């Protein structure tokens, strides 16, 4: 993909990703990742959150009042609280979100540094930035060596270790608080083995299909910054800037749009 702002190329990428997450393998891993995110959500409070990714929303289990999803086009919006924009140009104020989740998107966008910078920019000083990524040392990571796999989801793109992303986060004045691994299974099977998942998460072994990075703004930097703009009500209309909060396609068809 040559340009993340090309709506057709980006939409095709997201369609391919959604097909994977609708498959049995994608659904099994999604459930494992949702279980990993659950304990994190229990400790979060706030008004607004945003999830950038191609899978069904994970963060809707968090007790945050207004959860925004993301889509590259109006036709692909799942609900009315969907932010339609390039993932590296978020039309949101600085420090306006209590939670930002980046779900397996940094691997495939052409400018991941800029996208991460945008995600960090809109995360509040006391908020959390959660990044889901593919673990290169997992069974799925090893299988990328099979001919032709790197041209298909989920094996395409550039897989990076948590340590590498820690360097990127430091560049945007964030630091890693914790890394959790999830999606444990034997080669050739799906992550549905409760015993393997329990053992893997209990000992936090870096062998799961994916990892979840918890990151927050560096404390000394957050304390020195001036108070910034905070959203006091759900985003609507002009608050979304150049983006669109789109109704699902089915709703537009019923209304004759």
Contact 161, 136 (CB under 8 A): yes
* DSSP designation for 76: G
In this structure, how many other beta carbons lie within 10 angstroms of the beta carbon of residue 114?
A: 15
pLDDT in tens, 76-135: 988 888 999 999 999 999 999 999 999 999 999 989 999 999 999 999 999 999 999 998
Three-state secondary-structure class, residue 249: helix
Task: Report d(CA 112, CA 158) in Å as an integer.
Answer: 10
Contact 137, 217 (CB under 8 A): no
Per-residue confidence (pLDDT) for residue 2, from 0 to 100:
39
Mean pLDDT on 55-82: 90
Measured CA distances, 4 to 16, 24, 124, 203 (Å): 15, 28, 25, 38
Three-state secondary-structure class, residue 149: helix
Rama region for 109: left / alpha / beta (φ>0; ψ in -120 to 50; rest): beta
- In order of their start, the domains of the chain are 20-217 (3.40.50.150)
Instruction: Return the H-helix or E-strand segment holding 34.
Output: helix 24-41
Residues 6+ apart with CB under 8 A from 210: 29, 32, 33, 104, 132, 133, 134, 135, 138, 181, 182, 183
Dihedral sign of CA atoms 220, 131, 35, 46 in order: positive
Task: Report d(CA 99, CA 120) in Å as an integer.
Answer: 10
Three-state secondary-structure class, residue 130: strand
pLDDT in tens, 218-237: 875 555 554 454 454 445 44
């Amino acid at each position: 993909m040559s340009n993340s702002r090309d709506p057709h190329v980006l939409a095709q990428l997201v369609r391919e990703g959604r097909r994977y997450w609708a498959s049995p393998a994608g659904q099994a891993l999604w459930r494992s990742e949702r279980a990993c995110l659950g304990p994190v959500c229990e400790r979060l409070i706030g008004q607004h959150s945003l999830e950038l990714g191609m899978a069904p929303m994970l963060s809707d289990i968090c007790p945050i009042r207004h959860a925004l999803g993301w889509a590259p086009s109006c036709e692909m919006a799942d609900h009315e609280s969907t932010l339609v924009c390039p993932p590296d140009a978020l039309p949101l104020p600085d420090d306006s979100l209590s939670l930002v989740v980046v779900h397996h998107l940094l691997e495939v966008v052409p400018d991941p540094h800029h996208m991460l910078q945008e995600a960090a920019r809109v995360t509040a000083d006391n908020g959390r930035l959660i990044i889901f990524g593919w673990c290169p040392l997992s069974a799925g990571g090893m299988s990328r060596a099979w001919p032709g796999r790197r041209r298909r989801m989920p094996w395409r793109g550039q897989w990076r270790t948590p340590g590498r992303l820690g360097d990127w986060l430091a560049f945007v004045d964030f630091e890693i608080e914790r890394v959790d691994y999830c999606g444990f299974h034997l080669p050739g099977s799906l992550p549905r083995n409760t015993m393997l998942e329990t053992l893997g998460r209990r000992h936090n072994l870096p062998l799961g299909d994916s990892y979840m990075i918890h990151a927050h703004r560096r404390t000394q930097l957050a304390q020195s910054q001036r108070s910034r703009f905070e959203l006091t009500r759900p985003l609507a209309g002009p608050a979304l800037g150049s983006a669109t909060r789109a109704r699902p396609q089915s709703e537009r068809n019923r209304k004759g749009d």
